[in-house]
A and B are shown apart, each in its own frame.
Chain A
């Protein structure tokens, strides 16, 4: 089987400081990988390097494209990479307002990606937007409301709908449940899990919340000071952590 994503020796420096270094892994179709670590551990830098938002100083991010097979997205031309970002890739931001157009209705937000890839039939676009609102559990009657009138959890669900409407194969998520109430988080996680499973998505989820990765991720990568210190099966890493830092991380979680 060809990996959907092959990350090879990714390194990003900010001057003398290391953002992340020497990160390599393969992600296979349908796999969900979590990246955990404390603030400043380089997990967001790594995510942005993979998603094409930051240019890494070294390394390759090879994606198995539909048309041409595995291609290094770091060296591909910007238009092609941005097209990938609108079709096969999706990016869910921590703050919904970074991933939504706050002055555009919910329907318009979902429809944008469809229109960006050439859909020009209003009725179809609207039907698909409404279908997706339903899938992320937002009432159809809210289709013409602006996200500024939505709660934080709804905004986040809308962002997910907006990202998944074009049927991407790889979703990058940056702290998708950060800043949400615990009850809202659970609902969102449940929704994400269902969608990932149903659509056969591969996903890379950056978070500092170990409960999130336990629920969503098949695999886990633990980062510290820009380096991957441990990687493996999620339950194995969490239940039998090998590295000192991972042990500290796991033992630091408050028990409810």
Chain B
């Protein structure tokens, strides 16, 4: 479902003497349907960079980044937008929403974007918020005023609203209490069970070993750090 073939990434800082900073080289990996792969490596090794390259947020310098049939490294913007809408979900560490939009709608939005019936979307959003212990009285408020933990859970609910065939998870269990952490892990397991290919960053070793089928150490792709 997700396949990287010999991907490299560098940043060229034109305004700082055109310094070229290579950050990734020869990255290749393959994640099958129903599989969850953890990215590991020291801080700064390029875990987040790799995730962003897959999401199309960073432009790969060379190589192929296949998600389904689409090569993200070469796709048109609208193809990537469609991919993000239909196929590829991304749960980042931070909730980025438009102010003033109620939480329930924030969570339902990915479903509405793929043409889901409004009531069905809201019902599913409500179910997820309930599972993640967001009190119902907060649903009509914008999440921008919530605590960090609450925002993180809203973010996860939103990320799991639509059943994406491929998902990127950036520290999904960070800053969660035991009960909510359990919920998130079961959401991941359910996603795997329905066949989603997942790439994640988990600092939580216990969580990692529970949901992940294998680990890929991105240090192997870091120029100058590879063995």
Contacts and interface: CB of A to CB of B under 8 A. Distances in A.
- Do A and B touch directly, given a CB cutoff of 8 Å in the complex? yes
Interface of A: 28, 31, 186-187, 189-190, 193, 215, 218-219, 232-233, 235-236, 239-240, 242-244, 247-248, 251
B77 A189 contact: no
B210 interface: no
Contacts of A186: 99-100
Nearest to B49: A240
B57 A236 contact: yes
A112 B226 CA distance: 67
Interface of B: 11-15, 52, 56-59, 77-78, 80-81, 98-101
A215 B77 contact: no
A215 B98 contact: yes
A91 B15 CA distance: 36
Given A235-B57, A242-B12, 9 more contacts: A31-B78, A190-B98, A218-B78, A219-B78, A233-B57, A236-B56, A239-B58, A243-B14, A248-B14
Nearest to B18: A244
Given A28-B78, A31-B78, A239-B58, A244 B99 contact: no
Contacts of B80: 233
A247 B14 contact: yes
Given A190-B98, A193-B98, A247-B14, A218 B57 contact: no
Contacts of B101: 190
A28 B80 CA distance: 13
Given A247-B14, A248-B15, A233 B98 contact: no
A58 B81 CA distance: 31
Contact of A242 (B52, B59, B78, B100): B59
A219 B56 CA distance: 13
Contacts of B11: 240
